[in-house]
Amino acid sequence: MDIKTILKSWFTEGYKRNLSSNHIKVFSIIAFILSAYQIWSVIWGKLDPLNQMAIHLAFILVLTFMLYGYSKKDVIKRHTPSVVDYIFTLLAIGAGIYFTIHAERIATRIPIMNPLNTLDIFFGVVFVLLTIEATRRTIGFPIIMIVFIGVAYALFGHYFNGLLGHRELLPVEFIDKLAFSFNGLWGSPISVAATFVFMFMLFGSFLQKSGAGEFFYHISSAIAGRTRGGSAKVAVLTSAFFGSISGSPTANVVTTGNFTIPVSKKSGYPPTIAAAVEAAASTGGSILPPIMGSSAFLMAAVTQMSYGAIVMAALIPGILYYVSLLAMVHFEAIRLDLPRPPKEAVPKLTNVLKKGWFYFIPIIVLVLFLVQGFSASRTGFYGILAVIAVSWFRKESRMGIREIFTSMVDGAKSSIPVTTACAAAGLVIAGVMTTGLGGKLTSIVLGLTEGLLFPTLIMVMLICIILGMGMPVAAAYILTAMLAAPALIELGVTTMAAHLFIVYFSIFSAITPPVAVAAYAAAGIADANPNRVGIEAVKLGIVGFVVPFMFVLEPALLMDGTIVEIIIAFLTAIIGVIALGAGVIGWLRTRTTIPERILLITSGALSMYASLLTSGIGLAIILLVFFMQHKRKTTLSIA
């Protein structure tokens, strides 16, 4: 390629190589060593945090430059690393070794009194530049653009007057903040990615390899397979199980969608709807307790709240989302007049449980250890041991040395994009912390919204969705939490509600056009139009966009209130999300008219807000529409 083409190609993401057999062996060995190192560092190692993070990032960079090619626009897709990739790999190894050797000095130095030497600056710049390139290849250019904006603001923001201005930062001083600060590359994002997020991805890899995926699919079929639209409901339940563990909407779509989407299409759902159901269900897994992907752990790390408190607060909103999704799938099936699957095609629940009941044990182990106060990383390790142990309950599922090795390789591979994105997020945070942009952004947001809560919520929602475009949940949440959470807390929103609000919209950006990565992945499997799938996924997941506003306004939905208040809020909200789903789909007892749809959507929103007045009005409207439809259906039947 000529220079112009190379430069243009840099503004796209890379591609995954189909490595040759020898390179696969080398890649697998390195990935296995990374997973083994992570387990050792969690259970037995007592490394300095900087030491642990530098080794982890160096490993991830090496794996990235082996697995990901330069640009998906390359005319010839190389299946072996290029000379440049080998140079990047050697530089990553060198930087990792340098930071490991000098970890104690770097961690304890005082920036002004102990200036950086030449080698410090060189390897610091190497880590920063390699992180940017690795993130571009794995995630794409949008997050890199945010990094560049942050760097430009830090270096040239002193030219601004007024609120946006800050003191001049010399390049060397900024490199110090980026590569040698716990508010930069080695901040909370990479710390989270290098510890419990990695361990839970490893846990998910082991669970998948043990045969749990097949079990969760069969149990979903046994529960919902005989109902109208049973195949899509199976997709919802299966994706809920796996989404809670994987934490990646896109990965969940690819894992479960390959068998749920074709089955839904065969049962009569249009390809667009089949893909949208899978995308919406997979995305919702990250808000579903008890595991919530990595969301609960990230939030616990950022807010210093207990994991148990976060999971309890997220329970009712998570249930509401899936009740709504199942209701909409049901109404859609009736609207399309889809038949029930034949009885013989659906497994019996007792038979399924008899064959795989033990797959619930690792989940129970995780919850018990987390509730007991064990660290998330150590809990993830115990969960992995539980998976290996229960896999031996049946001969067909037993995990031997080969399966364990493959699971460790797959876990390391799946952690690559999350780690690179979190490292890049750390670079953005360095700019935010160094320039004081976080506090300024709070003032700007509150100034634009004139300190009014609802407009501020809308503004924060938009920030979450924009930052979440094409970005892993971990990076999107951490970035938005640093930038936007203070604005909500300033207005009296509780820390729990503010951060859960940001978690929700960081997650649901995965199905929000124009960059709806989970919807695009589902569209590829269904052979459907990606934009139409994104629009349908938003429609099906509408409760995920409404509930955050409701729990900010009504804390009882987050279990913050008396038992009576919580029960009333939960019951009225259940009725509300079903009514909202009926209005969105256009079916309750029979096909709805436009005024009936408007009434159902309005009544659903009113019922979800647990004030006696609004809930009473909402329930009255729902009953009115129900009897209107009942009368019309009876009249049509007689006629």
Over residues 476-524, the pLDDT tens digits come to: 788 788 878 888 998 999 999 999 999 999 888 888 887 777 887 888 8
Question: Residue 309 and residue 322: Cα distance in Å, rounded?
Answer: 21
Confidence at residue 1, expressed as pLDDT on a 0 to 100 scale? 58
Cβ contact 608:577 at 8 Å = yes
Total Cβ atoms within 10 A of residue 270: 16
Least confident piece of the model among 224-228, 402-406, 580-584 = 224-228
Question: Residue 249 and residue 255: Cα distance in Å, rounded?
Answer: 10
With respect to residue 503, please indicate whether it lies within any of the assigned structural domains. no
Confidence at residue 464, expressed as pLDDT on a 0 to 100 scale? 85
> DSSP state, 194?
I
Residues in contact with 517: Cβ distance below 8 Å, sequence separation at least 6, in sequence order: 249, 250, 470, 510
Residue with tokens 């649901």: 508
> DSSP state, 383?
H
| DSSP helix/strand/coil, 591 | strand
With respect to residue 211, please indicate whether it lies within any of the assigned structural domains. no
Question: Residue 460 and residue 497: Cα distance in Å, rounded?
Answer: 13
Residue with tokens 């989404």: 243
430 pLDDT more than 80: yes
Question: Residue 354 and residue 351: Cα distance in Å, rounded?
Answer: 5
With respect to residue 120, please indicate whether it lies within any of the assigned structural domains. yes
Work out the average pLDDT over 419-442: 83
**What residues make up the domain containing 614?**
563-639
With respect to residue 442, please indicate whether it lies within any of the assigned structural domains. no
The domain total for the chain is 2
467 pLDDT more than 80: no
| Signed CA dihedral, 417, 421, 424, 426: sign only | negative
Q: How confident is the model at residue 531 (pLDDT cuts 50, 70, 90)?
A: confident
What percent of the chain has a predicted confidence (pLDDT) above 90? 36
- Written as one letter, the residue type at 30 is I
Torsion of CA 524, 526, 528, 532, to 10 degrees: -90
With respect to residue 630, please indicate whether it lies within any of the assigned structural domains. yes
638 pLDDT more than 60: no
DSSP string, 152-175: HHHHHGGG--GGG------HHHHH
Cβ contact 214:224 at 8 Å = no
- Written as one letter, the residue type at 429 is I
With respect to residue 583, please indicate whether it lies within any of the assigned structural domains. yes
**Mean pLDDT highest for which of 43-52, 261-270, 387-396?**
387-396
Cβ contact 278:326 at 8 Å = no
Work out the average pLDDT over 313-341: 89
With respect to residue 125, please indicate whether it lies within any of the assigned structural domains. yes
Q: How confident is the model at residue 635 (pLDDT cuts 50, 70, 90)?
A: low
What percent of the chain has a predicted confidence (pLDDT) above 70? 97
With respect to residue 147, please indicate whether it lies within any of the assigned structural domains. no
Confidence at residue 306, expressed as pLDDT on a 0 to 100 scale? 83
Confidence at residue 89, expressed as pLDDT on a 0 to 100 scale? 97
Is the preceding omega at residue 271 within 30 degrees of 0, hence cis? no
Residues in contact with 267: Cβ distance below 8 Å, sequence separation at least 6, in sequence order: 229, 230, 231, 232, 338, 341
Residues in contact with 388: Cβ distance below 8 Å, sequence separation at least 6, in sequence order: 206, 210, 399, 404
Burial category of 356 from C-beta neighbours within 10 Å (exposed 0-12, middle 13-18, buried 19 and up): buried
Cβ contact 153:437 at 8 Å = yes
| DSSP helix/strand/coil, 68 | strand
Query: Which tens digit of pLDDT belongs to each residue from 533-575?
Result: 989 999 999 999 999 999 998 889 999 989 998 998 999 999 9
Which of 88, 118, 138 represents a domain boundary (last residue)? 138
62 pLDDT more than 80: yes
**Mean pLDDT highest for which of 75-84, 177-186, 218-227, 294-303?**
177-186
From 155, 147, 175, select the one nearest 421 (Cα to Cα). Answer: 147
Tokens of 487: 């604005």
Residue with tokens 């591609």: 15
From 191, 200, 169, 226, select the one nearest 433 (Cα to Cα). Answer: 169
Which of 103, 138, 173 represents a domain boundary (last residue)? 138
636 pLDDT more than 80: no
Burial category of 389 from C-beta neighbours within 10 Å (exposed 0-12, middle 13-18, buried 19 and up): middle
List for the chain the helix, strand, coil content (%; round to 5).
Answer: 75, 0, 20
Q: How confident is the model at residue 247 (pLDDT cuts 50, 70, 90)?
A: low
Which of 83, 114, 138 represents a domain boundary (last residue)? 138
14 pLDDT more than 70: yes
Tokens of 202: 């490893």
Question: Residue 446 and residue 492: Cα distance in Å, rounded?
Answer: 13
User: What's the chain's average pLDDT?
Assistant: 87
Confidence at residue 288, expressed as pLDDT on a 0 to 100 scale? 86
Work out the average pLDDT over 296-302: 80
Tokens of 97: 């070794």
